[in-house]
């Protein structure tokens, strides 16, 4: 298990030897060296994942905390407000040049904060915490996705639930950096690059780890987002859509609200 959890970490074991077919001996040695260096760039733990154990201990000691679990009634109203705010801001910027301080500052201060809020709302909705009905949560997540400009809520949920079920497990937890990231971003400049473009790493990384089957909710997410983007451009112009996409990029870039991504996943 590859993990950012620092507790109960044991000395790393030598990884199983991998076979590289059809390569020269020199290439084999180079590849095997890369595997070992990949192993050395992470904290490897061989104990039980701690969150489940702590959860059981807390519930046993304080069973009353279970009353705090379940859907939050205010979520749907807050999401509706933030979606409306983003549509309003996009409309108001319809005639503002994209390369201008008013456009950038609005996207950074209001837009990025709003879309970061929607990122986290979609996270909560993926755990069925907006409604008690699972289908209502799936549909509402698509609605919360609209100001982000790119459909992702349907794919986020299965990847994220696997992240919880297999926290820190190499090849399953897509919140972990890949070996490529560990090698090529292991410098001050590399980490600065990652922090600037981390939203792109979160979007692209899962597809390099494993693929998901396309379901009806995926298709609904794509069609709904395409229809919203088309309507937005039709009635408010391309600048409105550019505002929402820029807001999404900045929400996962060098922005105060994006710091939790790093705080939650890296040491």
Query: How many whole angstroms separate alpha carbon 4 and alpha carbon 1?
Result: 10
**How much is the pLDDT for 40?**
67
Of 217, 219, 238, the closest CA to residue 229 belongs to 238
**How much is the pLDDT for 210?**
86
The DSSP result for 74-124, as a single string, is THHHHHHHHHHHHHHHHHHTTTS-SSSHHHHHHIIIIIHHHHHHHHHHHHH
Question: Tens-digit pLDDT profile for the chain (267 aa)?
Answer: 444 333 333 334 444 333 333 444 444 454 445 444 556 667 777 777 777 888 899 999 999 999 888 999 999 999 999 999 999 999 999 999 999 999 999 999 999 999 999 999 999 999 999 999 999 999 999 999 999 999 999 999 988 888 877 777 777 888 888 888 888 888 999 999 999 999 998 888 888 888 889 999 999 999 999 999 999 999 999 999 999 999 999 999 999 999 888 887 776
Of 100, 83, 61, 121, the closest CA to residue 244 belongs to 83
**How much is the pLDDT for 32?**
47
**How much is the pLDDT for 163?**
84
**How much is the pLDDT for 172?**
82
Residues 6+ apart with CB under 8 A from 224: 142, 143, 145, 146, 151
The model's pTM is: 0.81
**How much is the pLDDT for 39?**
64
Query: How many whole angstroms separate alpha carbon 32 and alpha carbon 180?
Result: 14
């Amino acid at each position: 298990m590859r993990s950012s959890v620092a507790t109960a970490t044991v000395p790393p074991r030598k990884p199983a030897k991998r076979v590289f077919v059809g390569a020269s001996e020199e290439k084999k040695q180079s590849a095997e060296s890369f595997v070992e260096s990949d192993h050395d760039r992470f904290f490897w733990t061989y104990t039980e994942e701690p969150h489940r154990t702590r959860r059981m201990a807390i519930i046993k000691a304080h069973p009353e905390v279970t009353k705090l679990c379940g859907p939050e009634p205010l979520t749907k109203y807050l999401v509706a407000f933030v979606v409306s705010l983003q549509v309003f801001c996009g409309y108001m910027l319809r005639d503002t040049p994209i390369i201008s301080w008013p456009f950038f500052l609005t996207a950074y201060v209001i837009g990025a904060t709003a879309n970061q809020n929607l990122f986290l709302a979609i996270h909560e909705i993926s755990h069925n915490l907006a409604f008690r009905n699972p289908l209502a949560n799936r549909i509402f997540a698509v609605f919360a996705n609209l100001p982000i400009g790119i459909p992702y809520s349907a794919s986020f949920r299965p990847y994220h639930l696997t992240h919880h079920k297999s926290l820190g497990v190499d090849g399953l937890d897509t919140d972990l950096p890949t070996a490529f990231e560990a090698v090529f971003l292991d410098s001050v400049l590399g980490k600065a690059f990652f922090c600037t473009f981390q939203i792109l790493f979160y979007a692209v990384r899962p597809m390099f780890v494993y693929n998901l089957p396309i379901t009806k909710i995926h298709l609904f997410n794509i069609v709904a987002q395409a229809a919203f983007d088309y309507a937005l451009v039709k009635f408010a112009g391309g600048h409105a859509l550019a505002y929402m996409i820029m807001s999404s990029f900045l929400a996962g870039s060098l922005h105060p609200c994006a710091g939790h991504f790093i705080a939650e996943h890296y040491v």
